[in-house]
Amino acid sequence: MSDARWVDVEDDISSSVQHFSRSVEIFERNGFMGDDLSAYMARMALMQAIQSGYTSLEAGLERILEILGEEKPTGGANYHSDLLRRVSREIEGNRPAIPSGPLAEAVDEARRFRHVARRAYDSFRIDGAASAVRSAAIIRDELPEAIGRFKMIMDGNANPAE
């Protein structure tokens, strides 16, 4: 599994963690209410940070599937949810889930928020973003270790039960 393409995966994961970290910081600064430019910029920055975090994470997951020789889901309206469902599932005898448990749930919440940021940004509500920001914090805190553990298992350097 010591494949040079892991450098690209690590870059994507690092980018994802940075964007999710910044989204938490933006949320904590507040300033979202109102029609002035400052409130607009705060709302747009939060949506973009979470969207960018998820996009980088998804790119890393796609690269992992490529390294493993697994096909990505077919395109279409359900591609993003299908990809997440696929990588969050253990394939017995082949590989463990990549994100699992609470981390997989947090990634799914970020995926759903990404849809809001891409399609329904004019109806964005800050109170509805709180769940996505909590998920961003979970991803920030747990993703690097989960990816590292997955790589070690696939390299044969760790016990899957750890």
Could you read off the pLDDT of 77-127 as tens digits, one per residue? 899 999 999 999 999 989 999 999 999 999 999 999 887 777 666 667 787
Helix orientation angle between 37-68 and 126-154, rounded to the nearest 10 degrees: 20
This prediction has a pTM of 0.90
Q: How far apart are CA 70 and CA 62, in angstroms?
A: 9
Looking at residue 119, its pLDDT comes to 66
Q: How far apart are the first and last CA of the chain?
A: 19
Whether the per-residue pLDDT at 67 is higher than 90: the answer is yes
Positive or negative torsion for Cα 70, 160, 5, 50: positive
Q: 115: which residues sit within 8 A by CB, 6+ positions away? A: 80
